[in-house]
């Protein structure tokens, strides 16, 4: 059955809880969270990223998150809480749904990087 982006977004938003910057800070403070920036490299270079976040563009996410592949990023651990963000929240929602389909259970969508930065969240260039 064919689907469109609106339907994909609805499914992703239903599967992946949206959290506030304050909730993300609480999760990060517990020490077992992986924060993932799924924006493209030029976006990260222009604005920086959440302090301590791993940058994995959306197009490479599955390849970095799959422990059976040689391209696996060891930061990805299914026992961790995973917090994703992008420029507006769309790519991070879709990425979160993908991670859930791959067996990651504690996956959250922080949404837009600008919301994190404007709330006083730590940023690194």
pLDDT in tens, the chain (125 residues): 678 999 999 999 999 999 999 999 999 999 999 999 999 999 999 999 999 999 999 999 999 999 999 999 999 999 999 999 999 999 999 999 999 999 999 999 999 999 999 999 999 99
In this structure, what CATH number is given to the domain that contains residue 53?
Answer: 3.40.250.10
92 in a structural domain: yes
Active site residue 86: yes
4 in a structural domain: no
Q: What is the pLDDT of residue 53?
A: 98
Q: What is the pLDDT of residue 20?
A: 97
8 in a structural domain: no
Helix 5-15 and helix 90-101: axis angle, to 10°? 60
- Residue 112 belongs to what H/E stretch? strand 107-112
103 in a structural domain: yes
90 in a structural domain: yes
- The structure's pTM equals 0.95
10 in a structural domain: no
3 in a structural domain: no
> What SS3 state is found at 103?
coil
Quote the domain boundaries for residue 102: 26-117
Residue from 86, 93, 107, 110 carrying the catalytic annotation: 86
**Overall domain count for the chain:** 1
57 in a structural domain: yes
């Amino acid at each position: 059955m064919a689907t469109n982006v609106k339907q994909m977004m609805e499914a992703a938003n239903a599967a992946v809880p949206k959290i506030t910057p304050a909730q993300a800070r609480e999760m990060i403070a517990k020490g077992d969270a992986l924060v993932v920036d799924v924006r493209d490299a030029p976006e990260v270079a222009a604005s920086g990223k959440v302090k301590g976040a791993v940058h994995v563009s959306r197009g490479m996410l599955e390849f970095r998150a799959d422990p059976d592949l040689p391209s696996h990023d060891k930061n990805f651990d299914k026992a961790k809480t995973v917090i994703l963000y992008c420029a507006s929240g769309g790519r991070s929602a879709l990425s979160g749904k993908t991670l859930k389909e791959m067996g990651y259970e504690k996956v959250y969508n922080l949404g837009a990087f600008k919301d994190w930065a404007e709330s006083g969240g730590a940023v690194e260039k």
